[in-house]
Amino acid sequence: MSWIVLVFSGVLEAVWATALGRSEGFIRLWPTVVFAVTMVVSMVGLAYAMRDLPVGTAYAVWVGIGATLTVVYAMATGVEPVSVAKVIFLVMIIGGVVGLKAVS
């Protein structure tokens, strides 16, 4: 159950990171609300997962999922350019996350 919560929390990290960028310094209401709610839920989920998982592994997986999805979303929406190098490095992040799960 902790791994499921951790993955969901990592997805929410990508949501709040994207909403933070769209809030334009907390000027826009709805992106700011989405940021605040998803950040709290994401942190609560991370804290829950850390009860059963090693802190370093849980945090690395959470950050890896959030960072990867944030970049993929930015590339898919055209906010960030796609390059072969970026895709390779994203695959490396995913490989690291899978590796941490495999050795846990």
C-alpha distances (whole Å) from 46 to each of 40, 49, 58 are: 10, 5, 7
Q: Using one digit for the tens of pLDDT, what is the confidence trace for 38-60?
A: 999 999 999 999 999 999 999 99
Q: Using one digit for the tens of pLDDT, what is the confidence trace for 12-41?
A: 999 999 999 999 999 999 999 999 999 999
Token digits for 80?
A: 């960030």
pTM for the whole thing?
0.91
d(CA 52, CA 31): 32
Range of the domain at 83: 2-103
Percent share of the chain, pLDDT over 90: 92
The count of domains in the chain is 1
